[in-house]
Amino acid sequence: MKLDIVQAGNPVLRQRARSLSLDEIRSREIQKLIESMRTCMHEAPGVGLAAPQLGLALQLAVIEDREEYHKDVPEALLRERERRPVPFHAIINPALEEIGEEKAEFFEGCLSLSGFTALVPRARAVRVTCLDERGQHRVIEASGWHARILQHEVDHLNGALYIDRMNTRSFTTMENLAEFWKGRAVSEIKAELELKSK
């Protein structure tokens, strides 16, 4: 099944997706869709992909942060982001709650906003109650980068994009991020962006 990722402006990205029944989850069609989404996510490459990004208004997303994606990321950045490999899993009909008050702000991108990124504040830790790819009840407690991915994907299922939450002054192309901000601390970037706004 060849899947195309839809871009911002497509109405499906702005509607709340519908829940899936257990029979639907276990059907050959949805099982095939999950495998195709996994392949599409790897080919992009990305660490998460929601069904609405493929034009399908379904409460389904897949997540995997592979170890190979970390090899070119400086160790200090991995530590700062609390980024560790996350094995493949699907989240279906998720309910998300924040754990604690602590927030983290990092640059975030999206396969449906190709070529752009921005600083996005998110809860540092979350709990997601959902069904997995086999229709089994699952509770995921995550912190750091995994928590960010979960929040990003659940937003997709509720018709939201990271641009709805971003620090608007930080919105940039990936090329400009690399040219002007690469290797700089988030606090330093924020301070400079605020300074230039006065």
Residue 188, amino acid: E
Rounded CA-CA distance 169/146 in Å is: 25
Give the closest residue to 123 by CA, choosing from 138, 139, 145. Answer: 145
Rounded CA-CA distance 182/10 in Å is: 31
Give CB contacts under 8 A, 24+ apart, made by 101-104. 104/144, 104/148
Tell me which of 153, 179, 188, 194 is the catalytic residue.
Answer: 153
Is 153 an active-site residue? yes
- Give the bridge partners for 106, in sequence order: 120
* Region for residue 64 given its phi and psi (left: phi exceeds 0; alpha: psi -120 to 50; beta: otherwise): beta
Question: How many angstroms separate the Cα of 8 from the Cα of each of 66, 160, 161, 184?
Answer: 26, 11, 9, 28
Q: Catalytic positions, please?
A: 153
